[in-house]
Amino acid sequence: MPERKKMTLPSLFKKVANNEPITMLTCYDYPTAYFQEQAGIDMILVGDSLGMTMLGYESTLPVTMEDMIRHSQAVRRGSPNAWLIGDMPYMSYQPSVESAIRNAGRFMAEASCDAIKLEGGAAMADRIRGIVDAGIPAIGHLGLTPQSVSALGGFRVQGKSASLAKKIAEDAKALEKAGAFMILLEMVPDRLCEVITKRAEGCIIMSLGSGPHAHGQLLIYHDMFGLYPRFKPKMAKVFGNAGEVILNGLKAYHDEVIGKQFPQRENWFTMPDEEYDELLKELK
Ligand code: KIV
């Protein structure tokens, strides 16, 4: 496969100008990043969802900066050319603008990320402004923001009423004005996503379960391949049931070892007869 060109901020905006949808997926490890790179995925988000999908926590809240940096580094090694987003974990930016800039800088310096993402609306606009002023491209995240899942009353659609939808649209404007080059809308109604996309000025809008009217689409990798056992969100299309393939393979391995069908001759290594005889002599 020919080497792909490095994705850049101007090339993302060019796609928007040409009405070409942007593709974005979550990713947390080297081999998956390698495949996403080969598939030509434009943007990779090392989401703090890794707390649930990779580490088995009940929520994203226990995820640390150290977890995020380690996984982002692995993803960057697998995908040198996608536009790589580091997702700022819980309490890495909420306490202050200073903490936000410092931790955003870690994603860039230690994991070669291209941008960061953080959750929250107008209340987080000063964090976005600080990060952007420090020369780091920033993405806002509105709608269902998993770090506030307790305040939001669970993993559910946000902005169904006119008043809540208006608040999300206003938050989007506040983030745009603060300098966010992109806003991710997670689980908001399609018409709200359409309104926000139409009102956007120089800001790319991405949809996760928010309909087709955004400039691009994001999915959680584990949902699209049946790899997360706890639940399957309605919005996630399963593009291949890797979970089932893996489970069948594991059962077959278990059965073959018990049934002494594995390993076969091609699965082990031998040594020359004379070395073996010498070994037996030495061990006497
Ligand atoms: O952590 C993550 O993967 C995310 C997506 C749900 C947008 O923030």
Please state whether 72 falls in left (phi above 0), alpha (psi between -120 and 50) or beta: alpha
Residues with a catalytic annotation lie at: 186
Per-residue DSSP letter, 4: P
Residue with CA closest to ligand 1 atom 6: 49
**Does the beta carbon of 67 lie inside 6 Å of ligand 1?**
no
Give the residues across from 207 on adjacent strands: 185, 217
Give the three-state DSSP class for 60.
coil
Residue 242 has pLDDT above 60, yes or no: yes
The pLDDT confidence band at residue 234, using thresholds 50, 70 and 90, is: confident
39: tokens are 């598939």
User: pLDDT (tens digit, 9 = 90+) per residue, 254-265?
Assistant: 999 999 999 999
Q: Closest by alpha carbon to 157, among 182, 185, 129, 137?
A: 185
Lowest-confidence region among 14-18, 44-48, 223-227, 232-236: 232-236
Q: Where are the beta strands (DSSP E) in the chain?
A: 22-26, 43-46, 83-87, 115-119, 138-143, 182-186, 204-208, 216-219
Residue 139 has pLDDT above 80, yes or no: yes
Residue 2 has pLDDT above 80, yes or no: no
**Does the beta carbon of 48 lie inside 6 Å of ligand 1?**
yes
pTM over 0.85: yes
What confidence score (pLDDT) does residue 231 get? 81
CA pseudo-torsion sign 173, 160, 137, 3: negative
User: pLDDT (tens digit, 9 = 90+) per residue, 53-112?
Assistant: 999 999 999 999 999 999 999 999 999 999 999 999 999 999 999 999 999 999 999 999
Q: Closest by alpha carbon to 92, among 54, 51, 43, 53?
A: 51
**Does the beta carbon of 210 lie inside 6 Å of ligand 1?**
no
What confidence score (pLDDT) does residue 93 get? 98
Give the mean model confidence (pLDDT) for residues 115-143: 98
What confidence score (pLDDT) does residue 15 get? 98
Residue with CA closest to ligand 1 atom 5: 47
Residue 3 has pLDDT above 80, yes or no: no
What confidence score (pLDDT) does residue 1 get? 55
In angstroms, what is the span from residue 185 Cα to ligand 1's centroid?
Answer: 10
CA pseudo-torsion sign 250, 256, 259, 263: negative
**Mean pLDDT value across the chain:** 96
Tokens 């969100």 belong to residue: 233
103, 95 Cβ separation under 8 angstroms? no
